[in-house]
Chains A and B, each alone.
Chain A
Amino acid sequence: SQTIHQWPATLVQPVGSPLSLECTVEGTSNPNLYWYRQAAGRGLQLLFYSVGIGQISSEVPQNLSASRPQDRQFILSSKKLLLSDSGFYLCAWSVRTSGTEAFFGQGTRLTVV
């Protein structure tokens, strides 16, 4: 069966520090991968999605970037965090066909102080 791992579960970082959140998927090949952000416990904002290694689409220009170094690995990064980057970050995957469900990880609660 397929599983998605996302870590860390919680993170407190000072303003200006770098960020690296990692997500890996097991039990499937060539998945679509996604990073979402959820502010104030509501609303899922799509940040990035990837349909293959090295292929990243950005939905919202901001202080974050994403990379997909391996087929089932998706990384969310920032060089310098802002207070406004605080939120609940969710990684998700889906099969390579449109019109299918997305499977979410358990999320990372990021607090920038």
Chain B
Amino acid sequence: GENVEQHPSTLSVQEGDSAVIKCTYSDSASNYFPWYKQELGKGPQLIIDIRSNVGEKKDQRIAVTLNKTAKHFSLHITETQPEDSAVYFCAASTSGYSTLTFGKGTMLLVSP
């Protein structure tokens, strides 16, 4: 089955800095890669996603890149703000299967 590795497990940045979280996946048939943000005590919420026919996608301060050859994808957050502090999860989904495989999460701490 699919295996998703996520790094780093914890990331501390100063407000205004950029943050990058990286994930690798094992199944070359995976074709959908969402990113979720989870605030303390709440369920994860989708913040951005990318499909295998696209190399990069941006939404304001958030961007995701995908390298299918290397089987890795990354989340980029620019101009970080304290409210960006949360746990971020990457995930991968393989065509024909309806379940997502999640990475172990990255705790992002943005200091004012």
Residue in A closest to B40 when the chains form the complex, CB atoms: A41
The bracket for how many chain A residues form the interface is: 20 to 34
Chain A residues with Cβ under 8 A from B99's Cβ?
34, 46, 49, 59
**How many A-B residue contacts, CB cutoff 8 Å?**
61
| A106–B41 CA distance with the chains assembled, in angstroms | 8
Q: Are B44 and A44 in contact (CB under 8 A)?
A: yes
Q: Which residue of B lies closest to A49 (CB)?
A: B99
Contact B105 A42 (CB under 8 A): yes
Q: Tell me the complex Cα distance, A12–B50, Å.
A: 39
Residues of B within 8 A of A101 (CB): 34, 46, 49
Give chain A interface residues in 74-113, CB to chain B under 8 Å: 90, 92, 94, 96-107, 109
Asked if A43 meets B31 with Cβ closer than 8 Å, knowing A96-B98, A98-B94, A106-B42, the reply is no
Residue in contact with A98 in the complex, picked from B42, B44, B96, CB distance below 8 Å:
B96
Q: Which of B9, B32, B87, B100 has the most CB of A within 10 A?
A: B100
Residues of chain A within 8 A (CB-CB) of B25 are: none
Flag if A102 contacts B41 (CB, 8 Å): no
Write out, one digit per residue, whether chain B residues 72-106 have a CB within 8 A of any chain A CB (1) or not (0).
00000000000000010100011111111110110
- B51: Cβ under 8 A from any A Cβ: yes
CB of A100 within 8 A of CB of B32, answer yes
In the assembled complex, the CB of B22 is this many whole angstroms from the nearest CB of chain A, namely 17
A106 proximity list for chain B (CB < 8 A): 42-43
Contacts of B46 in A (CB 8 A): 101, 103
Residues of chain B with a CB closer than 8 A to A90's CB: 43-44
5 additional A-B residue pairs with CB within 8 Å, beyond A98-B95, A101-B46: A46-B101, A94-B98, A100-B93, A102-B34, A107-B43
**Interface CB pairs A-B, < 8 A, 12:** A42-B87, A43-B104, A46-B100, A49-B98, A59-B99, A97-B98, A98-B32, A98-B93, A98-B96, A99-B51, A102-B34, A104-B36
* Pairs A-B, 9 closest by C-beta atoms: A104-B43, A99-B32, A44-B102, A43-B104, A42-B105, A101-B46, A32-B98, A106-B43, A107-B43
